[in-house]
Structure 1
Amino acid sequence: MNDDDLSRLLQQHASRHPADERLRAAVRTQMTLQAAAQEPRAAAPARSAWRARFAPRIHPAVAGAGGLMLGIALTLTAVLIVPRLTPDGTLPDDLVAAHVRALQVGPPYEVASSDRHQVKPWFQGRLDYAPTVLDSPLREQGFALLGGRVQAVRGKPTAVLAYQLRLHKIDLYAWPTEHGAAPEKLQRRGFNLVRWSDGAMQYWAVSDVDGAELERFAAAWRAVATH
């Protein structure tokens, strides 16, 4: 198969995303070279004898370079393709599970305070980012800050701010992002979630409070944070 044939196959069957096409082409080309370089000599004695006499030899350094290129291409392919195959479709379930676990076995918060000037500094040295913490402006609307904690979400330490509305606990998960997103409401196993992003941080509010109340919490947060 020559390059034209390979390009034609990629155009017909591969992803239409340019980056994925280039990577697939590189992977297949390197796999072909690697297979040719490592084919057992005893598999076809006559052909091997012919190659020994007429075919150009592949220097070990070239074969090693081909393997290195293949490894790099596969790594890049994984980086670019895996996120597309594993979107955050299960993230809401993970956050609900983390919220329930904190309520059942604790701790709901590791630093207990309604003062953001005590909660925000507590995260220093525990995270590689500084989450925004809001207190009194939200308290005026019924959402009292209880404190904060660091909880693993998919293996990554994540800031969690604990609020309360009447008898309902609200967990606000926050981590850095580079993309803004309008608020979106979801529901999992009776729990409500509202997620949004301001372009610097992504937020997920999780609670068993009524969905309209959780949306009010998210709206109040965004209104205060932008002033």
Structure 2
Amino acid sequence: MEDDDLSALLRQHASRHAAGDGLRTRVRTQFTLQAAAQAPHARLRWRERLARIHPALAGVGGLALGVALTLSALLIVPRLHPDGTLPDQLVAAHVRALQVGPLYEVASSDRHTVKPWFQGRLDYAPTVLDAPLREQGYLLLGGRVQAVHGRPTAALAYQLRLHKIDLYQWPATPGAAPETLQRRGFNLAGWSDGAMQYWAVSDVDATELAHFASAWRAASAR
């Protein structure tokens, strides 16, 4: 379905009423999460689509809003192949968190505060490490929920000197070998423990990020 067809469909069949503050906030939140999950080249196309369908979305009721958001997301998500765009998405999310925030929604260096915060926000329980990493210079700052490939994902924020490290994790099948990448000057380190997939993103050099990944694997295996 083209964008113009979607707009025409909403104008003809959607129930309309003045959108309240709560509705407008939810719409902005949904599109912000979608934008954060996209690679830079895809976000421009998303803004163009949003500009065209915004007048139709502004007045729709709750049911029509859900349909509109679902159809709009389908225009983007299938085009984002995981293997090609994941590193760019993670770097974009990391940069956005540093620039406009939040880097963490729960602020604590205690895993017993950070880990329970994710309850009810994710359909899985992320691994959170504090003391074993702090002993090697990596301080847990807190955690947040980040959209990655259109789904809520756990993101932990750590600090090494003045550098910030984002660690993303989600359930994954075993077999993903450790790998390192670089995108736009940021280094990435990815690995799997057989149950979860992890990706660390930071502007620290590749050697230091690899050390962080190694320290995490060793600590989580204890």
Q: Same fold (TM over 0.5)?
A: yes
Q: Gapped runs of 5+ residues in structure 1?
A: 1-81
Distance 2:118 2:111 in 1: 11
Letter aligned with residue 145 of structure 2: V
Aligned counterpart in structure 2 of residue 222 of structure 1, from 205, 209, 217: 217
| 1:88 correspondence with 2:83 | yes
Aligned counterpart in structure 1 of residue 200 of structure 2, from 189, 198, 205: 205
Across the aligned residues of Structure 1 and Structure 2, the Cα RMSD in angstroms comes to 1.5
Distance 1:180 1:221 in 2: 18
How many Å apart are 1:155 and its aligned residue? 1.4
8 Å contact kept, 1:137–1:224:
yes
8 Å contact kept, 2:138–2:158:
yes
CA distances 1:135-169 after superposition (whole Å, capped 9, x unpaired): 01100000000000001112110000000000000
Q: Which has the higher contact order (CA 8 A, sep 6+)?
A: 2
Distance 1:180 1:217 in 2: 20
| 1:115 correspondence with 2:110 | yes
Distance 1:127 1:86 in 2: 23
Q: Which residue of 1 aligns with 2:190?
A: 195
What SS does the corresponding residue of 2:177 show, helix, strand or coil?
strand
Structure 1 segment 68-217 matched on structure 2, within 5 A: 86-217=81-212
What SS does the corresponding residue of 1:119 show, helix, strand or coil?
helix
Letter aligned with residue 208 of structure 1: D
How many Å apart are 1:88 and its aligned residue? 1.4
Aligned-pair identity (%):
81
8 Å contact kept, 1:176–1:200:
yes
Distance 1:94 1:173 in 2: 11
Distance 1:201 1:181 in 2: 10
How many Å apart are 1:87 and its aligned residue? 4.5
Distance 1:126 1:94 in 2: 21
Point out the structure with max Rg over C-alpha. 1
CA distances 1:76-110 after superposition (whole Å, capped 9, x unpaired): xxxxxx89x93411110010000000000000000
- Shift in CA distance, 142/88, structure 1 to aligned 2, threshold 3 Å: same
TM-score w.r.t. length of structure 2: 0.63
Distance 1:110 1:185 in 2: 27
8 Å contact kept, 1:159–1:173:
yes
Q: Which residue of 2 aligns with 1:9?
A: none
What SS does the corresponding residue of 1:181 show, helix, strand or coil?
coil
How many Å apart are 1:180 and its aligned residue? 2.9
Count of residues in Structure 1 that have an aligned counterpart in Structure 2: 145
What SS does the corresponding residue of 2:159 show, helix, strand or coil?
strand
TM-score w.r.t. length of structure 1: 0.62
8 Å contact kept, 1:180–1:200:
no
CA distances 1:167-191 after superposition (whole Å, capped 9, x unpaired): 0000000000112322110000000
Q: Which residue of 1 aligns with 2:26?
A: none
